Amino acid sequence: MLVLDPQSFARARLAVAIMVLSASRALAASPAYEIDPLGSGSPAEAGDFRPQVSRPAPRQLLTYQEPYAPGTVVVSTSERRLFLVLKDRTAVQYTVGVGRPGLAWSGVMRITRQRAWPDWRPPVEMRQRRPDLPRYMAGGPDNPLGARALYLGSSLYRIHGSNEPETVGQAVSSGCIRMTNEDVIDLYDRVRVGTKVVVLP
């Protein structure tokens, strides 16, 4: 059994303390051990500090008592919800983005066209407000109309997907009804040209 005199014991304790302090400083300086700002507890690479993005409420099947025929699409602008009315007083509810103040609207339309990965031609009225917009953009993941578009009557309005899912659930559009790409694909597959669309204030 090793027995240390008081001075040797004190020196040994000091050496251990220095080693622990050095290791702690090295660990703190390593980018691989920075605190994950998203709260997952996993190591984060240096500079990987992305803000947390809220996701729109998921679609769901619910009881729906409003007096609309099955197959009708109902948009509640105030609730920022779209309902596809089904049989037996039920509906599929989706979260949507709507027109910003001054550009929101209400009325009754019919779906006149359906397009997958649609091209985008911003209307003249929009380009007057936003001169930086292109005259034409081919369909694809970067296109603001997203994965699907349902054209409403002869108007400039559409129900469409979005390459900015964080805006779904907000009032930021020029009057179109925005959905996540996943939700607009689901709706697109359930409706047909001629479907009635009721947009409420």
Catalytic residue among 73, 111, 176, 184: 176
Averaged pLDDT of the chain: 80
Q: What domains can you pick out in the chain, each with its CATH number?
A: 1-50 (no CATH), 60-200 (2.40.440.10)
Catalytic residue among 91, 160, 169, 188: 160
So what's the pLDDT on residue 50? Answer: 34
Across 103-107, average pLDDT: 95
Q: Helices in the chain by DSSP H: which ranges?
A: 6-29, 124-129, 181-190
So what's the pLDDT on residue 54? Answer: 59
pLDDT at residue 133 tops 60 = yes
Is 175 a catalytic site residue? no
- As given in the structure block, the two tokens for residue 10 are 């004190």
What pLDDT digit, counting tens, does each position of 5-51 carry?
A: 556 555 655 554 555 444 444 433 333 222 222 222 333 333 333 33
What pLDDT digit, counting tens, does each position of 51-94 carry?
A: 344 578 899 999 999 999 999 999 999 999 999 999 999 999 99
Is 160 a catalytic site residue? yes
So what's the pLDDT on residue 129? Answer: 84
What pLDDT digit, counting tens, does each position of 153-169 carry?
A: 999 999 999 999 999 99
Question: CA 191 to CA 33: how far, in whole Å?
Answer: 50
Across 127-145, average pLDDT: 88
User: Which residue do the tokens 């407000």 mark?
Assistant: 129
Question: CA 104 to CA 106: how far, in whole Å?
Answer: 7
So what's the pLDDT on residue 134? Answer: 83
